[in-house]
Amino acid sequence: MTIAVVDYGSGNLRSAAKAFERAVAETGAGGPVEVTADAERVRRADRIVLPGQGAFADCMRGLAAVPGMVEAIGEAVLRRGVPFFGICVGMQLMASRGLEHGTHDGLGWIPGEVVPLEPADPSLKIPQMGWNDLVLDRPDHPVLAGLPPGAHAYFVHSYRYAVADPGHLLAHVDYGGLVTAVIGRDNMVGAQFHPEKSQSTGLTLIANFLRWRP
């Protein structure tokens, strides 16, 4: 099983790849992890991981700038059902649109908008930076298997994913209001937090993704 970590100049690629390599080594699930900007390699992969950090529009432009990459990911994920994992802004790119520095179209895979994080408690800082406790909305989802209620995850973000369909919300956190933490539908999942920085929670999530047969 090949695992493609999509390289589109977003940064944070090696740390994400290392987390997947560690999960492969510890669980025996999965196979080679490859960081690649080659659309054909991504198209042929058995698992696709899209990391991301920075602004929504910059990441979307960066992804679109890699020759054939948006088309390759779309064909693999939407047509062939290849399991897909979006991390942080990589998750947000699945939205219909992002409202950071203007309105920008996303991939449109899971309906919703990426909107400013506006906690009801004015003492809470933006960006949200640090650990928070997950509330599992869909604890039966295979990618959340084995996570205890209140599992800790590490966040760094200023915008949140407002899903249009509550059924796509797998987990959330409270940060002066509900903040989407994990989303999913069909063969796609995404995490707003950084699994590679979230210790046992992150490794469990990654291992579950590698074993997942949607």
8 A C-beta contact, residue 53 and residue 21:
no
| 118 is annotated as an active-site residue | no
Which is catalytic among the residues 157, 168, 172, 194?
A: 194
Per the annotation, the verdict on 196 as an active-site residue is yes
Q: Of 59, 100, 113, 196, which is the active-site residue?
A: 196
Q: Is 194 a catalytic residue?
A: yes
Write out 83-111 in H/E/C secondary structure: CEEEECHHHHCCCCEECCCCCEECCCCCC
The encoded tokens of residue 153 equal 């995850």
Task: Report which secondary-structure segment, H or E, holds 164.
Answer: none
**Surface-to-core class of residue 186, CB atoms within 10 Å of its CB (0-12 exposed, 13-18 middle, 19+ buried):** middle
How many Å separate Cα 27 from the centre of its chain?
A: 21
Which entry of 88, 113, 157, 168 is annotated as an active-site residue? 88
Among all residues, which ones are annotated catalytic? 88, 194, 196
